Structures are given as C-alpha cells and as structure tokens.
Amino acid sequence: MSDEKPVRESIGEDARIDALGERLAAAREREEQRNRPQAKGDASYKLGNRVLAELLGGLLGGAVIGWAIDYFAGTSPWGLLVMLFAGIVVAFRNIYRISSRPPE
C-alpha cells in the first residue's frame, strides 16, 4: 500500500449550492429588516408612554413628598393632600404642554 492521499476533484458550479446561497442572502435580508428600528410607527407609542409617565410621576412624586412632609412636620393628612393636589396640577400642565405641541 502506498501512502498517497486521494486527490479530490473540485466541485463545479452546483445548482443546489447556488440556491442555498440565494436562500441565505434572502434570510439575511429579512433578518436585517426585522431588526431595523422603526422610526415612524413608534411615534404615537412613545407619546403615549410619555403622557403616562408624566401622569404617574406627578401623582407618585406629590404623594411621596407630601408623605415626607407629614412624617417630619407632623401635619397628618394635610401635607399629603396638598402635595398630591400639586402633583396632579403639575402632571396635567405637562400633559397639556405635550398635547399642544405641533407634531414633528
């Protein structure tokens, strides 16, 4: 027996390899389109989230500050009530400013 290794013949153009290459390129294109950020479709969603954040932030911020005033000053419900009302006013003012701004 000889120690010669068999020489492989190079494979010519194969239709299956070409089809596989085309399918891989199409799959990569679909993946890039799926992962591409969408700028226009998300504008309403972002605006809604911002309005919700303003509303919750005003309510929770006023409640926490009012509770802290009540805790340290000893003015049982009045600090909480006044600051909660102030938080609601600030939240609605910010929501009005957001809604009156012209669309981009």
Each residue of 31-67: pLDDT tens digit?
998 888 766 657 788 889 999 999 999 999 999 999 9
Q: How far is CA 102 from CA 50, 63, 94, in A?
A: 16, 32, 15
Q: Which two tokens stand for residue 66?
A: 């009012």
Which residue in 67, 58, 46 sits closest to 88, CA to CA?
Answer: 58
Q: Which two tokens stand for residue 28?
A: 């990569």
Residue 27 lies in a domain: no
Q: How many domains does the chain have?
A: 1
Each residue of 18-33: pLDDT tens digit?
888 899 999 999 999 8
Residue 89 lies in a domain: yes
Per the CB < 8 A criterion, the answer to whether 55 and 94 are in contact is: no
Check residues 46 and 4 and name the one with the higher pLDDT.
46
- Residue-range definition of the domain harbouring residue 57: 43-100
Check residues 9 and 91 and name the one with the higher pLDDT.
91
**Highest mean pLDDT: which range of 2-6, 13-17, 33-37, 40-44:** 33-37
Per the CB < 8 A criterion, the answer to whether 61 and 94 are in contact is: no
